[in-house]
Amino acid sequence: MQPPPATPGDPLDRVDTPALLVDLDAFERNLDRMAAETTARGLRLRPHAKTHKSTDVAKAQIARGAVGLCCQKVSEAEALVDGGVEDLLVSNQVAGGRKLGRLAQLARRARIGVCVDDAGNAADLARAAAAADAVIDVLIEIDVGAGRCGLRDPEAVVPLAQQIAAAPSLNFAGLQAYNGTAQHLRAPEERQSAIATAAEIVRRATTALSAAGLGCETVGGAGTGTYALEMAEGLWTELQPGSYCFMDADYAANGSPPDYEQSLTVLATIMSAPETGFAVCDAGHKACAIDSGLPRLASHPAVALTGASDEHGSIALPAGLALSVGDRLQLIPGHIDPTVNLHDWYVCHRGGRVEAVWPVTARGAMF
């Protein structure tokens, strides 16, 4: 783990670069806003920790009413339980005996849920939980349009739910119905159509469960790009947005959701300015993920970097912006989740000073 790039009390110009900067005022407004929206609808909020991988952020979300957190990996769940989070859903399939054993051990220390879309995997999970004398909540994942994991046939939930309900070490808790692709569709009508399709699939699954005499306490899903649509459908009971706490350039390009603020940037320093109108900063794609496009200048959000290699970000300077060696700039990442995963520390600031330095608790937790 790298040493922190700043110390509480430092002015921002003392922060070493590249560094994740969190504007605490904007961050807290984002948390308050989502808490208020979900509370107003009477929905459970279970924010996704794959975005922030942080015990500090998780606790700030729980303090505002979140029922627990989602994560994608057993090792993320372990890190968050170690940090005091008591209710976690691994919103993903967990395969392999070593991982299932760890998940079952964790379920002795916290309320743990996981997703399943395969009968053999459900049987392995039941055995691992029984061996640890633990009980694990299980959501059956159904494919609601992304074509990734999840049962393709919504009626196929019935035999799998019956298998899970029959296992004393498992608790059939409902459905996982998340369309990751829909989060990033550019046009509002495309997102609306995708979630309408998802809702129809959820309805088929819950109808089949009900016909078989099986309850469905939880329907989980929704992300930052579509949660308003899932809320409006009235079928989802637990929302799982992640990015809303920090936001990124990809969501900004969609204009969705409105009112949430870019609270996280990557602070960089100009290391070379070898010709007029061009500069190179010290944040490349090892500091700012580029899977969803090149980062943008916070001072000029319409301007993206012109190139990013491992440790260099190239900038064709827009008119009116001159940058020399040693100057600082803030970048808006194209995609927040993998950007955070590259860093060991958040530098949290307010009023021009570093107020806190938070570890990225589960940075690199991929097991």
Residues of this chain that interact with a second copy (CB under 8 A) are 1-2, 5, 14, 16-18, 50, 72-73, 75, 92-96, 98-99, 117-118, 120-121, 124, 143, 147-152, 180, 269-275, 280, 282-283, 285-287, 289-291, 307-312, 314, 324-326, 337-338, 341-344, 363-367
Sign of CA dihedral 30, 32, 38, 43: positive
- The minimum distance between CB 234 and a second copy, in angstroms, equals 27
**Closest CB to a second copy among 28 and 282?**
282
**Closest CB to a second copy among 69 and 231?**
69
Give me the DSSP letters along 102-114. HHHHHTTTSEEEE
- The minimum distance between CB 194 and a second copy, in angstroms, equals 16
Strands (E), the chain: 19-23, 44-45, 69-71, 87-90, 111-116, 136-141, 170-176, 218-221, 238-239, 264-275, 278-281, 296-297, 300-304, 307-308, 313-316, 328-332, 345-350, 353-359
**Closest CB to a second copy among 231 and 365?**
365
Can you tell me the distance from the alpha carbon of 182 to that of 251, in angstroms, rounded to the nearest whole number?
Answer: 12
Show the tokens assigned to 309.
């290699």
- The minimum distance between CB 335 and a second copy, in angstroms, equals 9
- The minimum distance between CB 156 and a second copy, in angstroms, equals 10
- The minimum distance between CB 174 and a second copy, in angstroms, equals 18
- The minimum distance between CB 175 and a second copy, in angstroms, equals 15
Helices (H), 132-176: 157-166
* Cβ within 8 Å of residue 158, ≥6 positions away: 208, 209, 212, 214
**Closest CB to a second copy among 26 and 149?**
149
**Closest CB to a second copy among 99 and 350?**
99
Strands 69-71 and 264-275, by their bridges, are: unpaired
**Closest CB to a second copy among 190 and 311?**
311
Can you tell me the distance from the alpha carbon of 355 to that of 343, in angstroms, rounded to the nearest whole number?
Answer: 18
**Closest CB to a second copy among 111 and 363?**
363
- The minimum distance between CB 96 and a second copy, in angstroms, equals 5
